[in-house]
Chain A
Amino acid sequence: MAEEKKLFKVKIDNISVEVEPGTTILNAARQIGGDIVPPAMCYYSKLQGSGGKCRTCLVKVTKGSEADPRPMPKLVASCRTTVMDGMEVANITSPEVQDARKGVVEFLLLNHPLDCPICDQAGECHLQDLGYEHGADGTRYEFKRRTFEQVDIGDNIKLHMTRCILCYRCVYTADQLTNNRVHGVLNRGEASEIGTYIQKALTSEFIGNVIDVCPVGALTDRTFRFKNRVWFLKPVDAHRNCDKCCGKTVLWMRGDEIFRVTARKDKYGEVEDFICDTCRFDTKEASAWTIEGPRKIDRHSVISQGHYVGTVKPKDTLVEVMDGRQPRLLMDIHSVSQVNRPEIDLSKIDGPAHSDDFNNAKR
């Protein structure tokens, strides 16, 4: 009983859920799941301190808490606002939130080059998903989109600054996963960019994870660059013994060829376990991996379409089919069936067999 008392009751879009104190609204919504989960472009549950920047997860708090039922005056970033007991939140039920979110999506796409046709991230891009779900069908921006000079950050990772939405995820990744962060956000305002200031390659055992955490195509895998579209590839779970990381990955294959290796991502597009660069970039022989089975990519994705994942294989072992009954001798139905015409010799029919050969044939 004592533990139950500690839980906070929260209502999100009129759905109640009980969560631990200190949970954010976004995570409470994720516990409910479904359509009411606010989209998040910058929040990453595995990265400390992330979130609050993209403003796509804005929600309206219609009741602050049981103790203080006043609504919050502004929309709040659900990824960084912790729940209070008795809090009521409106996400998809609030037109104000939908309108604000549409505005945020428009802002995010304002300077985005929309070069999806040549972008390696296309098909697994969170900004694409966000644009389809919440965006308008056109832009009202009539000016030149901003561009940046190309910066070389090494042989494995390609930086396209024009596509960046400045979510800071890669900065947190480098801070929290590697020993030395050499990239960061330079300049301010619209001119902000991810860079190393003095051109420098990102070299660190785990730096490849910035590719996985990047919600857009700003950071892509250079060893996979322009090799294939992600939806033509077949993702399979695989593992190998790795002394640096968990070794649990997703291989993106076509036939027996491994095109790229990524970490496993959950349904919110977040990495389950970070993997090392050796697994990601240097281990592309199928022999090095133990393949577990096909991977379902959940996030509103075209990747899973056309792939036979989740199909139910027939249970053909006799024991299961008979469900505990003893098998009886099966009759040879062919010998008694009227359909059966053993007298017609297929080898003597000209060309392919036709129903006429059976039906019109003399008995």
Chain B
Amino acid sequence: MQLLQNAGQKQTQTKEQVRRIINEYMGRKLLLDKAHIEGIRYYDTYRKNGGYEAAGKVFKTMSPDLVVEEVKKSGLRGRGGAGFPTGMKWSFLAKPEGVPRYLVCNADESEPGTFKDRYLMEFLPHLLIEGLLIASYALGSHSTYIYIRGEYAWIPDILEEAIAEAKQNGWLGKNIQGTGFDLEIYVQRGAGAYICGEETALIESLEGKRGNPRIKPPFPAVKGLWQCPTVVNNVETLAAVVPIINIGGEEYAKIGIGKSTGTKLISACGNIKKPGVYEIDMTISVEEFIYSDEYCGGIPKGKRLKACIPGGSSVPILPANLLLKTAKGETRMMTYESLNDGGFATGSMMGSGGFVVLDEDQCVVRNTYTLARFYHHESCGQCSPCREGTGWMKRVLHNIEYGKGKMSDIDLLWDIQRKIEGNTICPLGDAAAWPVAAAIRHFRDEFEWHVKNPNAAQQRNFGIAHYADPLPVAAAAV
């Protein structure tokens, strides 16, 4: 408790001191702290280890508005990618008389490089259900949906089993724990469309329609599922509500730097020694995250860092020099603000936390082509810039990657992405445009190399880069 009070004096302490305090106090884990316990997937073990205590506390002592206040105080930001403050989103929910309200859990985690929600749902299903329970209580939703990605074929079974267990123990159904609050949680499987992770497309899909994003406004908080007020939250966001209630919103807000409060799950993959899901408090630097043994463990075979996509495939790629230090020369931290420092010219985004590391052998053109192919495949085809533009970018990138490109193609690509970005109904257009834009912005010389050396580009094997020139970007010497 002494430490807890110390943590309150964050303003006067250095970041390192705060971090040390938090580490000692929390062991820096809030979501995954019990993930290692055997059988935590099942109700009994979860309950024995302090599960459903937050829900019990909410039912006993808190009013719905108080829960929203607590989440507001915590400064929790949406973990799905946009980073919108969750408490604010909840308070925007329209509450007309006689109209049901819905909470939808967005488990359609399809972003290449992101797999944190799968981990949560697979190993800690009851944490999500408890979070859903608290959030539903706070928002007044009596039917809550988990919209889960179709490719996660085995996870709905885990969730449904957990829901059945929770129901047996009186945490779901009618009159939960004698409070008079009713809640049913339904698991809905998606059919394999990335676009259904966009909240309005998710709602359309949930209604049984074609998963086309709706045109906003009206926003889901006013007219969402079945034209009723709806909140759509990411799995991790809802799971994070549990520790917020457990330790209190103000305590939660003390973790992290600035407006990036709390802990964040990062799913690290690519050329690192230890790929996996890591829970970080948002006080560590990117450099530490990549090279520390606690996290990614560095890059295998002693290779150098070339680039990194810090927040899932749709965010701009950053070369090593801009990844570790911002354009101003400050250390880049794993926070929403720091990763976005410098805008898209020299920064990137926290996104959904899909941390993809590329070592010196990886070809950025190949990587960009792969991403463009993905977005071309996943465009819903509703609005014209995205429908036509993603396919065009893919084909131009294919030409460049396979040594059939022209110098003018690089400018053409830039022009295409510029005309897609911001002109589409939903963010998929932006998501398709940003990686291409960033790749050309930071690695134009690699595109030019492909155009100038068509034979070498053709003979290259699956995008392994063997450039005659030294690396375009000075890799950090760590």
**Chain A residues at the B interface, C-beta cutoff of 8 Å:** 51-55, 58, 73-75, 77, 80, 82, 99-100, 103-104, 106-108, 110-111, 140-141, 143, 165-166, 168, 184-185, 187-192
Contact with A along B368-410 (1 / 0, CB 8 A): 0000000011111111110111111001000000000000000
Give every chain A residue within 8 A of B387 (Cβ-Cβ). 107, 166, 189-190, 192
Q: Are A107 and B215 in contact (CB under 8 A)?
A: no
Q: Are A189 and B379 in contact (CB under 8 A)?
A: yes
Chain A residues with CB under 8 Å of B384's CB are 53-55, 104, 107-108, 165-166
> Is B412 positioned at the interface, with any CB of A under 8 Å from its CB?
yes
Chain B, range 178-213, C-beta contacts under 8 Å to A: 193, 195, 210
Question: Chain B: which residue is nearest A105 at the CB level?
Answer: B384
The interface residues of chain B lying within 8 Å CB-to-CB of A99 are: 419
A106, A108, A188, A189 pick with most chain B CB within 10 angstroms: A189
Whether a CB of chain A sits under 8 angstroms from the CB of B326 is: no
Q: Which of B1-9, B153-161, B249-257, B421-429 contacts A (4 or more CB under 8 A)?
A: B421-429
CA distance A111 to B390 in the complex (A): 13
Could you give 18 example pairs across A and B, Cβ below 8 Å? A51-B215, A53-B382, A53-B384, A53-B425, A55-B384, A74-B423, A99-B419, A100-B419, A103-B385, A107-B385, A108-B384, A185-B381, A189-B376, A189-B380, A189-B381, A189-B387, A190-B390, A192-B380
Cα A140 to Cα B392 in complex, Å, equals 10
Besides A103-B418, A166-B381, A189-B379, 13 other A-B contacts (C-beta < 8 A): A51-B215, A52-B215, A52-B383, A58-B423, A104-B419, A107-B384, A166-B384, A187-B381, A188-B193, A190-B376, A190-B379, A191-B381, A192-B381
Q: Which residues from A are CB-within-8-Å of B390?
A: 189-190
Closest to A191 in B: B381
- Is the beta-carbon distance between A141 and B215 smaller than 8 angstroms? no
Q: Which residue of B lies closest to A167 (CB)?
A: B384
CB neighbours of B210 from chain A (8 A): 184-185
Known A-B contacts A55-B385, A189-B376, A190-B381; the reply to A141 vs B392 at CB < 8 A is yes
Question: What is the minimal beta-carbon distance from B13 to any residue of chain A, in angstroms?
Answer: 37
Given contact pairs A53-B384, A77-B215, A104-B384, A189 touches B412 in the complex (Cβ within 8 A): no
Q: Which of B233-272 contact A (CB under 8 A)?
A: none
Residues of B contacting A80 in the complex (Cβ-Cβ under 8 angstroms)? 215
In the bound complex, how far is the Cα of B172 from the Cα of A178, in angstroms?
Answer: 43
CB neighbours of A55 from chain B (8 A): 383-385, 423-424
* Residues on A with beta carbons closer than 8 Å to the beta carbon of B415: 103
A113 to chain B, nearest CB (A): 14
Q: Do A188 and B380 have beta carbons less than 8 Å apart? A: yes
B377 touches which of A51, A54, A168, A189 (Cβ 8 Å): A189
**A54 contacts B379, C-beta separation under 8 Å:** no
CA distance A73 to B343 in the complex (A): 15
Contacts of A77 in B (CB 8 A): 215, 425
Q: Which residues of B, 13-40, contact A by the 8 Å Cβ criterion?
A: none
* Interface 1/0 per residue, B205-239 and A, CB below 8 Å: 00000100001010000000000000000000000
Set of chain B residues within 8 Å of A184, measured between Cβ atoms: 210
Question: Residues of B contacting A140 with CB < 8 Å?
Answer: 412
Shortest Cβ distance from residue A253 to the other chain B in the assembled complex, whole angstroms: 36
Task: List the B residue with the shortest CB-CB distance to A112.
Answer: B388
**B120 CB to closest chain A CB, in angstroms?**
28
Given contacts A54-B384, A104-B385, A108-B384, contact A190 B422 (CB under 8 A): no
Min distance, Cβ A189 to any Cβ of chain B, angstroms: 4
* Residues from chain A with Cβ under 8 Å of B193 in the complex: 188
Smallest distance from the beta carbon of B203 to chain A beta carbons, Å? 15
